[in-house]
Amino acid sequence: MWLSPRRMVHSWLDSVDIRVNGDRPWDIQIHDPSIYRRAVLQGTLGLGESYMEGWWDCERLDHFFEKVLSSDIQRTFDRNFFMLVEFVRAHIVNLQGKSRAFKIGQHHYDIGNDFYQRMLDTRMTYTCGYWNNAANLDQAQEAKLDLVCRKLELKAGDKVLDIGCGWGSFAKFAAERYGVEVVGITVSKEQVGLAQELCKGLPVTIRLCDYRQLEGTFDHIVSLGMFEHVGYRNYKTYMRAVAGNLKDDGLFLLHTIGHKISVRSGDPWIEKYIFPNSMLPSIKQIAKATEGVFVMEDWHNFGADYDKTLMAWFENFNRNWGEFEQRYGERFYRMWNYFLLSCAGAFRARHLQLWQVIFSKQGVRRGYMRLA
């Protein structure tokens, strides 16, 4: 029996206890009935765009997405024309090739250092915090940075490469607390400028550089939240580049968001508005890329902590929005709320994961001792 888009959406939402125009925090309020057809035809792209345009609202988007992503509804949204276009495009074009390497920096990371200073912790760490014994965002991020340093077994005088260094939070922390020398690379011009300023006086070098341009030999290598921009076509190239710049007895720590299944393209809405040319790796894809290149020493999943991290960023973003309202406007505001809260719901539902993986080139002879 044929169902109208309205009845179809109502049926989907009813199956996960979400009511249209209900009075619970996770229920959605429809302002424009055109949303039904748009959601059915365009999937996640249409859902996100229509929210940005004010067609619907939800008091607690994080709860809404937790319910949706804990069910099979996501598969329904994935089967639409726009997902097919992205899938085909990813097969034809290397979306993360050298010529596109700096697009993500310009689109996402260069929108304003002051914006990120207000949203993130005091160290400006734009990756998942480690909340095991932390009471707030600053403590969680410092705990994560210290955990990384301990997992790499850093000692004074070590030379460390930070691939995707952001605003230099790890480089500054490791140089100050562990006495190491750090070279950080990023594809964001804005990040380079501020990171150099924040790390001034420390043995830290920050460069505007793609990982395929790497030169040098390092005692250890770390990559925090950058692998999501590499793309499945380039995973093996990335791993070989890391191995080529790592000493034989060195350790490589990969910190990345991960997907439960192997995909070859990203979510259309995230791809268009937040992280262009991005996609999330799976365990299988990482294993295939490291086969014959690295020995996996440890695999740590603390994806549930990203929910807390994103909710802390959301609170900071909204508390400081008044400073940016005139610059960015209402559509940007709704876009960022949607981004932060939909991702929080995805991690809360365990739809997405956060992995820290330790690799060695030849295996740690004494055996690697896990710290967390």
Q: Please check whether residue 342 is in contact with residue 61, taking contact to mean a CB–CB distance below 8 angstroms.
A: yes
Query: Is the confidence at residue 3, as pLDDT, over 80?
Result: no
CA distance 80 to 73: 13
- For the four alpha carbons of 166, 89, 335 and 24, in that order, the dihedral sign comes to negative
Specify the pLDDT at position 77.
Answer: 52
Lowest-pLDDT range of 80-89, 189-198, 207-216, 360-369: 80-89
Share of the chain above pLDDT 90, in %: 80
In angstroms, the first-to-last Cα distance of the chain is 53
The tens digit of pLDDT for each residue in 184-213 reads 999 999 999 999 999 999 999 999 999 998
**Mean pLDDT, range 266-271, rounded to an integer:** 91
The tens digit of pLDDT for each residue in 25-79 reads 999 999 999 999 999 889 899 999 999 999 999 999 999 999 999 986 655 555 5
Specify the pLDDT at position 98.
Answer: 53
Q: What is the dihedral of CA 261, 264, 270, 274, to 10 degrees?
A: 120
- Split at pLDDT 50, 70, 90, the class of 85 is very low
- Split at pLDDT 50, 70, 90, the class of 95 is very low
- Split at pLDDT 50, 70, 90, the class of 345 is very high
Specify the pLDDT at position 209.
Answer: 93
Specify the pLDDT at position 91.
Answer: 44
Task: Please give the positions annotated as active site.
Answer: 343
**Mean pLDDT, range 311-331, rounded to an integer:** 98
Q: Please check whether residue 160 is in contact with residue 221, taking contact to mean a CB–CB distance below 8 angstroms.
A: yes
* CATH 3.40.50.150 domain locations along the chain: 99-360
Q: Which helix (H) or strand (E) holds 140?
A: helix 137-151
Specify the pLDDT at position 75.
Answer: 56
- Split at pLDDT 50, 70, 90, the class of 90 is very low
Query: Is the confidence at residue 245, as pLDDT, over 60?
Result: yes
Q: Across the chain, where does the E strand assignment appear?
A: 28-30, 56-58, 159-163, 181-186, 204-208, 218-224, 246-259, 295-301, 352-360
The tens digit of pLDDT for each residue in 134-152 reads 999 999 999 999 999 999 9
Share of the chain above pLDDT 70, in %: 90
- Split at pLDDT 50, 70, 90, the class of 273 is very high
Query: Is the confidence at residue 81, as pLDDT, over 50?
Result: no
Lowest-pLDDT range of 260-269, 287-296, 298-307, 332-341: 260-269
Query: Is the confidence at residue 170, as pLDDT, over 70?
Result: yes
Specify the pLDDT at position 52.
Answer: 98
Query: Is the confidence at residue 83, as pLDDT, over 80?
Result: no
Task: Supply the mean pLDDT for the chain.
Answer: 91
Specify the pLDDT at position 350.
Answer: 96
Query: Is the confidence at residue 107, as pLDDT, over 90?
Result: no
Give the closest residue to 146 by CA, choosing from 134, 136, 163. 134
Specify the pLDDT at position 5.
Answer: 86
If you ran DSSP here, which 8-state letter would residue 292 be given? T
Q: To which CATH superfamily is domain 99-360 assigned?
A: Vaccinia Virus protein VP39 (3.40.50.150)
**Mean pLDDT, range 94-115, rounded to an integer:** 70
